[in-house]
Amino acid sequence: MKLDRGRSGVAIALVLGLSLSACSTAASPAASPAQSSTVVPTAASIATAAATPSAVPAQGTWHSTGTMAVARKLHTATLLPDGKVLVAGGVDSNDDTSSRALASAELYDPHTGTWSATGSMIHPRAWATATLLPSGLVLVAGGLCPGSTTNGCPTVEDPSGAIADAELYDPRTGTWTATGTMFSPRFEHTAVLLADGRVLVAGAELAPDRLIASTELYDPAAGRWRAAGDMLIPRWQQFAVALPDGGALVAGGYGATSPTAHGLSNSVELFNPGTGTWHTGPKLLVGRAQGGAATLLQNGTVLIAGGDGGGDHMLASAELYDPITGARTTGAMSTTRVEFASAAMPDGRLLVMGGFDVPGTGKLLSSAEIYDPAAGAWFDAGSMASARFDFTATLLEDGTVLVTGGSAVAGNAPVPGADAVSPLAEIYAP
């Protein structure tokens, strides 16, 4: 099932391709042979289980902060070395197939709680990825530029509107410069920063039923892309996480199930940066696609939660994945949740918020919850002032989390189609 909340044209879900790295690593908890078996439980048997709501008071509070100059969703948000947050691109309308992609960018200053304009990107784009490089520059790659060259889109693009070009933002000058162009246009791809400083991008769907398996590596020293090995199956809306060993994994998403068809996948592939090749890893317990969360925990395991479980199954379930021993179940969120945002907290917990519970007919969510690895459970983390999806969440230097934009409604309104692209921002204080 591809996520569609009243959108025309190709139904597309937000890929939250965030690059996350662990502060430290430790031995991963061992799983029993049964846990690493390739026997896959059904989505109904695992994905619909919800955690018992915590009886303890909400952990943390929410408050409003400065409003962006431009309402936007499907944008990127990146914490800069000076503590400010760069927000760039996105679209300004709920009609995703005809929306005007944005080139504008803004900076949030957490010390003043205010926004200021900065240089605009060379090309408008939504569904792009943004990665902070070790140099302090920000790499924005690919994305969708619906429209034409008269709207600032690149001259050569895929019929889907996907673009292949990339840009670098320099926080010292507030300007953007073109850098190497990817071999393939792509949007709703994933991008992760590897331990060696290179950026790995993977996958995409360029048209209905046209998935790509290609992956590429960006070398910041050379300012160029080079082709890496193809994934074993083409996929999109997958989860992607950099691993402590210097490699990366991609998991789930929509992938090829036969030479002529594709569907929800529970397969996992592991990337070896030394050889530039992929190999099969143990499978997920449940097939799931993006719109969920995936993060590397401080103990070296990967937490994957929520997302699209195929058919009418939106997932509340979560699992802990070890590249060697495989997946094991952990506490489920209190509600099914897709197209939400997440942020890894400094103390090793994971905060998730927003999204919606049933695409097309369900209500947007304002609720938030936090996963405690020590307890293997989720706890109430209060509620945002606005229910929202297609937004971003960024961990700030002081340990608070900035939420920006998205399609939002005031309060927890259950009215489909009542949401509108928002310029509002909020802060979570743990």
User: pLDDT, tens digit, for every residue of 150-175?
Assistant: 678 886 567 778 999 999 999 999 99
Q: Pick the range with the lowest mean pLDDT from 140-149, 180-189, 299-308.
A: 140-149
| Dihedral over Cα of 329, 333, 334, 339: its sign | negative
% the chain with pLDDT above 90 = 67
Alpha-carbon span 351 to 338, nearest angstrom? 14
- By mean pLDDT, which of 8-17, 33-42, 169-178, 351-360 is the weakest? 8-17
Residue 25: pLDDT band with limits 50, 70, 90: very low
Q: Which of 6-10, 201-205, 207-211 is predicted least confidently?
A: 6-10
pLDDT-derived band at 32 (thresholds 50, 70, 90) equals very low
Fold of 58-429: Neuraminidase (2.120.10)
pLDDT number for residue 207: 72
Residue 55 banded pLDDT, cuts 50, 70, 90:
low
As a whole number of angstroms, the distance between CA 134 and CA 161 comes to: 30
Tell me the two tokens of residue 137.
């520059």
Residue percentage of the chain with pLDDT more than 70: 79
- Determine the pLDDT at residue 296: 97
What lies within 8 Å, CB to CB, of 423 at 6+ separation is 67, 68, 69, 70, 71, 72, 405
User: Which residue from 393, 231, 374 is spatially nearest to 301, judged by alpha carbons?
Assistant: 374
What predicted TM-score, i.e. pTM, was given to this entire model?
0.85
User: In 3D, which of 422, 405, 399 has the Cα closest to residue 87?
Assistant: 405
For residue 184, which of 153, 136, 143 has the smallest C-alpha distance? 143
* pLDDT of res. 307: 93
- Over residues 87-120, the pLDDT tens digits come to 999 998 876 555 678 999 999 999 999 999 999 9
d(CA 120, CA 372) in angstroms, rounded, equals 39
* Cα dihedral: 294, 336, 360, 353 (round 10): -60
Reduced to 3 states, what is the DSSP secondary structure of residue 263? strand
Q: Where are the domains of the chain?
A: 58-429
The string of pLDDT tens digits covering residues 368-414 is: 999 999 999 999 999 999 999 999 999 999 999 999 999 987 654 44
On the question of pLDDT at 362 being above 60, the answer is yes
Q: Do 142 and 128 contact (CB within 8 A), yes or no? A: yes
pLDDT score for 146: 74
- pLDDT one-digit tens code per residue, 205-223: 887 668 899 999 999 999 9
C-alpha radius of gyration, the chain, whole number: 20
CA distance 429 to 199: 31
How far is CA 399 from each of CA 133, 148, 345, 425, rounded to the nearest angstrom? 21, 41, 7, 16
Please tell me the predicted confidence (pLDDT) of residue 418: 54
**pLDDT tens string 56-95:** 677 899 999 999 999 999 999 999 999 999 999 999 887 6
Separation CA 346–CA 348 (nearest Å): 5
Least confident of 28-42, 96-110, 328-342: 28-42
Confidence of residue 337 (pLDDT cuts 50, 70, 90): very high
- Beta-carbon contacts of 172 under 8 Å, excluding residues fewer than 6 positions away, are 136
Q: Are 157 and 147 in contact (CB under 8 A)?
A: no
Q: What span, in angstroms and rounded, lies between the C-alpha atoms of 90 and 138?
A: 16
**Integer Cα distance of 8 and 185 in angstroms:** 22
3-state helix, strand, coil in the chain (%, to 5): 0, 40, 60
Q: pLDDT value at position 158?
A: 74
pLDDT at residue 2 tops 60: no
Residue 420 pLDDT? 87
Whether residue 85 contacts residue 75, with contact meaning beta carbons closer than 8 Å, is answered with no
Supply the mean pLDDT for the chain.
Answer: 84
CA 230 distance to own-chain centroid = 21
The helix (run of H) or strand (run of E) holding residue 104 is none
